[in-house]
Amino acid sequence: QVQLQESGPGLVKPSQTLSLTCTVSGGSISSGSYYWSWIRQPAGKGLEWIGRIYTSGSTNYNPSLKSRVTISVDTSKNQFSLKLSSVTAADTAVYYCAREDIAVNWFDPWGQGTLVTVSS
Amino acid sequence: QSALTQPASVSGSPGQSITISCTGTSSDVGGYNYVSWYQQHPGKAPKLMIYEVSNRPSGVSNRFSGSKSGNTASLTISGLQAEDEADYYCSSYTSSSTYVVFGGGTKLTVL
């Protein structure tokens, strides 16, 4: 079955850019039925949708983060990536990648999540 | 502040039933049947439990059920078991510019 795995630095300095990659296995990221999404969760808090990308490269972003977020896809590697610029301590969170159904917007499966800490 | 409102906590004894509510607006929960529910155990990724208001993915126990009335969706867990103790989140499509909204989460304690 499809599995997702996040990777990237666990520590980022304030004002720098957070970069994460999600590798998809067991299925093709080029499937036309899904978006590929990023979601984050600060410690002890709820889930926040960051944004998503379609295999064509079309993106949607959470307006609260839109000015700082870029999501891209590399179909040859079956990966999609997240870049979040000008990070602050408020961006410290567990970052998840997930597959999102295009038609009815459920998220499944999810990656295991990766903790990114913003600190000098 | 989350776009969808959930109670912070609920509790129940083994064997009992509990219901978790998820209240939104006509732009999300009330306007579309695209509500999903997720279970999250500590340190783990969320797991899809219900989609399209009331559908269960393969492998999810039939003790979990979902419904909707107006702007409020509900998750009911019957025959509570210790393993059900977790955080639960609702999510919905929204016609607003945010596209997707989550609830703030509900901590379920099995007494």
Q: Tokens 């993106």 appear where? A: A59
Q: Which of A60, A108, A113 sits opposite B57 (nearest CB)?
A: A108
Q: Which residue out of B91, B100, B106 would a mutagenesis test of the A interface target, given it has the greatest number of A Cβ atoms within 10 Å?
A: B100
pLDDT band for position B1 (50/70/90)? low
Query: Count of A–B CB contacts within 8 Å?
Result: 65
| Rg of the Cα atoms in chain A | 13
The shortest CB-CB distance from A60 to any of B47, B48, B99 is to: B99
Contact B38 A49 (CB under 8 A): no
Mean pLDDT of B5-32: 96
- The backbone torsions φ and ψ at residue A114, rounded to the nearest 5 degrees and listed phi first, read -135, 130
Strand A34-41 versus strand A93-101 pairing type: antiparallel
Q: Which burial class, exposed, middle or buried, applies to A29 when counting CB atoms under 10 A from its CB (0-12, 13-18, 19+)?
A: buried
Task: Please tell me the distance in Å from B51's CA to the nearest CA on chain A.
Answer: 6
pLDDT tens readout for residues B40-95: 999 999 999 999 999 999 999 999 999 999 999 999 999 999 999 999 999 999 98
Contact yes or no for A105 and B97 at CB 8 A: no
Residue of B27, B51, B99, B107 for testing the chain A interface, max A β-carbons within 10 Å: B99
- How confident is the prediction along chain A (120 residues), in pLDDT tens digits per residue? 999 999 999 999 999 999 999 999 999 999 889 999 999 999 999 999 999 999 999 999 999 999 999 999 999 999 999 999 999 999 999 999 999 999 889 999 999 999 999 999
Closest-CA residue to A84 (of A4, A9, A18, A27) = A18
Please report residues of B whose CB lies closer than 8 A to that of A47. Answer: 38, 46, 89, 91, 102, 105
Residue among A104, A112, A114 with most chain B CBs within 10 A, to mutate: A104
